[in-house]
Amino acid sequence: MQELHTQTTNKQLESQRASLKNAWLKKQESLKAILNTLSSPKELEELSHTKQRQASLILCHLHALEPKSLYQGVLCLENEQIPLPKNSRSLSDAANKLFKEAKKCQQRALHIATQQENLESKIAFLQAKIALLPQSNLDELRVLTPNKQSKHKKPSSWESFEIEGVRVGIGRNESENRSLLKAGRSGDTWAHIKDKPSAHMLLFTHPNRPSASLLSKACHLLAKLAYASESQQALKVAIDYTQKKHVKFAQKGGNKAFVTYTHFSSVVVAL
């Protein structure tokens, strides 16, 4: 009887592992496809400079151009072919539209790095979850499995888990870390791996403190995700935690955000 139970449990375990792996691999490929369609910042900056130069050329030659040349669709100035923006009312309006397009390209170039970082962090997080599957038991798989009947109707931008009936959020990048912290209440519990750039975690327990069991399971999950691709032989991970009200975002060099926190305790997780 015991042997039959073990066989059934193992079969169920392997089935759930395979199901989660397939779902996450599909999601990973989808994110990679989006990442591959993004223009490079260099291409956008070059396009911005081109449009600025073309707009300036039109203005420089405006006094010598025939108004009817607007309807040609393309101007040839100083051996350069300049496609005129659609719906331009005049040549000067075409130049203004090119300047606006150049500005948009420049703005996209500035934001593209953030888009790439966010996509890459989500892909890396999926890879970390996939790496956890072989050593996860059924209880751990239940935590990793998305809860389709969650009482939280509004979807979150960060990664969301449920441990012992408590919602646990983990940010996968700077933007999600910010969003997660803003969503928390003063008595929620915030956690972060000590002295290591990594995901932020928030346990939505306000106004109560988390139980020792809940805190332990959540910190184990955070540590395993952070070190999923590394050897976990006798690895010990220190994690700081405190109430959300003691965590503040600040600015660092390069306009990058980081947090300062006080009134914290630490727990060491053995993997």
pLDDT tens per residue across span 93-129: 999 999 999 999 999 888 888 888 899 999 999 999 9
pLDDT at 55 over 90: yes
Query: What is the pLDDT confidence band of residue 200, given thresholds at 50, 70 and 90?
Result: very high
Task: Please state, rounded to an integer, the average pLDDT across all residues of the chain.
Answer: 89
Rounded to an integer, the average pLDDT of 245-263 is 77
pLDDT at 243: 96
Query: What is the pLDDT confidence band of residue 1, given thresholds at 50, 70 and 90?
Result: low
pLDDT at 82 over 90: yes
pLDDT at 89: 93
Rounded to an integer, the average pLDDT of 162-175 is 93
Query: What is the pLDDT confidence band of residue 154, given thresholds at 50, 70 and 90?
Result: low
Q: What is the pLDDT of residues 10-42, one digit of tens each?
A: 889 999 999 999 999 999 999 999 999 988 888
pLDDT at 255: 47
pLDDT at 235: 83
pLDDT at 160 over 80: yes
pLDDT at 238 over 60: yes
Rounded to an integer, the average pLDDT of 128-148 is 88
* In the chain, % of residues over pLDDT 90: 66
**Residue 104 and residue 55 in contact, taking contact as beta carbons nearer than 8 Å:** no
Q: Choose among 149, 182, 169, 158: nearest CA to 218.
A: 169
pLDDT at 60: 94
Instruction: Print the SS3 string covering the chain.
Output: CHHHHHHHHHHHHHHHHHHHHHHHHHHHHHHHHHHHHCCCHHHHHHHHHHHHHHHHHHHHCHHHCCHHHHHHCEEEECCEEEECCCCCCCHHHHHHHHHHHHHHHHHHHHHHHHHHHHHHHHHHHHHHHHHHHHHCCHHHHHHHCCCCCCCCCCCCCCEEEEECCEEEEECCCHHHHHHHHHHCCCCCEEEEECCCCCCEEEECCCCCCCCHHHHHHHHHHHHHHHCCCCCCCCCEEEEEEEEHHHEEEEECHHHCEEEEECCCEEEEEEC
pLDDT at 241 over 80: yes
* Token couple for 146: 């998305």
Rounded to an integer, the average pLDDT of 149-153 is 55
Rounded Cα gap, residues 234 and 213, in angstroms: 21
Identity of the amino acid at 122: K
Identity of the amino acid at 135: Q
pLDDT at 149: 54
Rounded to an integer, the average pLDDT of 136-151 is 80
Query: 211 — phi, psi (to 5°)?
Result: -70, 160
